[in-house]
Structure 1
Amino acid sequence: MSHPTPSTLSSDRKIVLVTGASSGIGEATARHLAAGHHVVLGARRLDRLGRLVNELTEAGHHAECAPLDVTDLESVKAFVDGALARHGRVDVLVNNAGIMPLALMEELRVDEWNQMIDVNLRGVLHGIAAVLPTMRDRRSGHIINVASTAAHRVDPTGVVYCATKFAVRAVSDGLRQETTDLRVTVVSPGLTHTELTLSGGNAQMQGAVRDALEAVGIDASAIAEAIGYAIAQPANVNVNEVVVQGTAQV
């Protein structure tokens, strides 16, 4: 697949990198942003990414994909460096990849705790580490970290998940305060139709969340539009945080 060079892209079309783009919020974000920007999509499931990129490019949009494991710093660096080599800049990074295996702590699912820390928090830190030097050099850039309404309250079935999302909010706010050149946004979705509840965790608790999703969940496109809103603001306007949930969710 050919990659557009910077000269082929309009001046207002941003280079946007999206992690966890093979499904859910990441896929919806790619679809939403590709209409006005050039999206570079990363995930482990390359077959899904390839089909999405083909669909977007056939519709006349600018899109490409690359393998990405956010738990591996070298993989994240390669993802970012590849985009820099092809386009000369990275304007926006959407740190979206995440997992949510729910269970009580007394079940001692330590491997799942570590997976959540690695994907939900360490993956965000890896993304920041990979793009921050080039954004600081250009004195321009936007980092968008997807947290959750679970970053605002703690539920007993998702203590470690909540902890990782609280940490994402803390990292984001601290990074935002470090610089007057870069924009940092936290997007906190409520119950959203994604694949988060389809693997890991306690089966009964995961099933209960799926039932709640059927009752009050919203489409991932709503989160994508919130991300698009933050990106669309003038360079001197920072949307610190957006919380998006269904009207029926309490």
Structure 2
Amino acid sequence: MPEADGKVVLITGASSGIGEATARILAAAGHLVVLGARRVDRIEVLAKEIRAEGGNAEYHALDVTSLEDTQAFAAHALERHERIDVLVNNAGVMPLSRLDALAVQDWDQMIDVNIRGVLYGIAAVLPSMRERGQGHIVNLASVSGHRVDPTAAVYSATKYAVRAISEGLRQESRDIRVTVISPGLTRSELTDGISDNDIREAVRDSMREAIPASAIGAAIQYAITQPQQVDVNEIVVRPTVQG
């Protein structure tokens, strides 16, 4: 169990990048983190490293495009700890391309992971949070959910959707806190999913200005550690030099 003031925090997409950094930061702060990802080997190693450093961490295989998987992920935490305090809906993909490239499979993947995955996460934890009369859902959007750039039309659409879903949930809730985190250029493995070589290299070149994933983890920590009556609704975190 977490320390006295610690929370039970579920993190999707925890095998790398923002998910991994958030897990390390929250565990170091005394929270119990439950790591979910498809790459089970990575989250198993991460959980061991966190425990070796004195933190509390568990892991469970998770494909956020599967409702059954996501429900099982939440059920695992409920069975072991009888509560879920926070869900960090972090899993995301970013296979950028021009619309005229007709990368339909990439469009489908972004819709499945970035939108459906967020909805499945909400569906998996909301009933138990409602029953307890408290809980916190943190959804990862992007600065691309505030602006649209060439090659990012579909990706931006999914992140606009995350913001819309989050705002709808917030307005429907008087006992559940809802936070949207919109990262700017952040070091992660998202660029690995870009198949177009020119676009991938251009994005990687821009990543020279990127901030570390820990900056986003720190923003998440800030949001979830506010008093229960304080709901931090949205945080945009980007490099100072980013336009």
TM-score (norm 2): 0.98
Q: Hey, what does 2:85 align to over in structure 1?
A: 91
Of 143, 148, 153 in structure 1, the residue corresponding to residue 137 of structure 2 is: 143
Measured in 2, the distance between the counterparts of 1:189 and 1:76 equals: 24
**Structure 1 residue 56 corresponds to structure 2 residue 50:** yes
Measured in 2, the distance between the counterparts of 1:219 and 1:213 equals: 10
**Structure 1 residue 244 corresponds to structure 2 residue 234:** no
Shift of 1:16: 0.1
Q: Which amino acid is the alignment partner of residue 40 of structure 1? A: V
Shift of 1:12: 1.0
Measured in 2, the distance between the counterparts of 1:248 and 1:18 equals: 29
**Structure 1 residue 100 corresponds to structure 2 residue 99:** no
Q: Hey, what does 2:162 align to over in structure 1?
A: 168
Q: Hey, what does 2:74 align to over in structure 1?
A: 80
Q: Hey, what does 1:224 align to over in structure 2?
A: 217
Shift of 1:200: 3.3
Shift of 1:206: 1.5
Shift of 1:10: 3.0
Measured in 2, the distance between the counterparts of 1:15 and 1:137 equals: 16
Measured in 1, the distance between the counterparts of 2:129 and 2:196 equals: 41
**Structure 1 residue 12 corresponds to structure 2 residue 5:** yes
Task: Look up the SS of the partner of 1:156 in the other structure.
Answer: coil
Shift of 1:117: 0.2
Task: Look up the SS of the partner of 2:138 in the other structure.
Answer: strand
Q: Deviations over 1:17-43 (max 9, x none)?
A: 000000000000000000120000000
Measured in 1, the distance between the counterparts of 2:198 and 2:46 equals: 32
Runs of 4+ residues over 2 Å off in structure 1: none
How many residues are treated as equivalent by the alignment? 242
Measured in 1, the distance between the counterparts of 2:194 and 2:201 equals: 11
TM-score (norm 1): 0.96
Q: Which amino acid is the alignment partner of residue 171 of structure 1? A: I
Of 201, 219, 228 in structure 2, the residue corresponding to residue 235 of structure 1 is: 228
Contact persistence 1:112–1:200 (CA under 8 A): no
Contact persistence 2:97–2:194 (CA under 8 A): no
Shift of 1:176: 0.3
Measured in 2, the distance between the counterparts of 1:231 and 1:179 equals: 16
Shift of 1:203: 1.7
Task: Look up the SS of the partner of 1:102 in the other structure.
Answer: coil
Identity %: 61
Structure 1 residue runs of 5 or longer lacking an equivalent are none
**Structure 1 residue 133 corresponds to structure 2 residue 122:** no
Q: Which amino acid is the alignment partner of residue 27 of structure 1? A: E
**Structure 1 residue 32 corresponds to structure 2 residue 13:** no
Measured in 2, the distance between the counterparts of 1:106 and 1:14 equals: 46
Q: Deviations over 1:109-142 (max 9, x none)?
A: 0000000000001000000000000000101000
Task: Look up the SS of the partner of 1:21 in the other structure.
Answer: coil
Q: Which amino acid is the alignment partner of residue 186 of structure 2? A: T
Task: Look up the SS of the partner of 2:152 in the other structure.
Answer: helix
Shift of 1:11: 2.9
CA RMSD in angstroms, aligned pairs only? 0.7
Q: Which amino acid is the alignment partner of residue 248 of structure 1? A: V
Task: Look up the SS of the partner of 2:174 in the other structure.
Answer: coil
Of 106, 111, 120 in structure 2, the residue corresponding to residue 117 of structure 1 is: 111
Shift of 1:67: 0.1
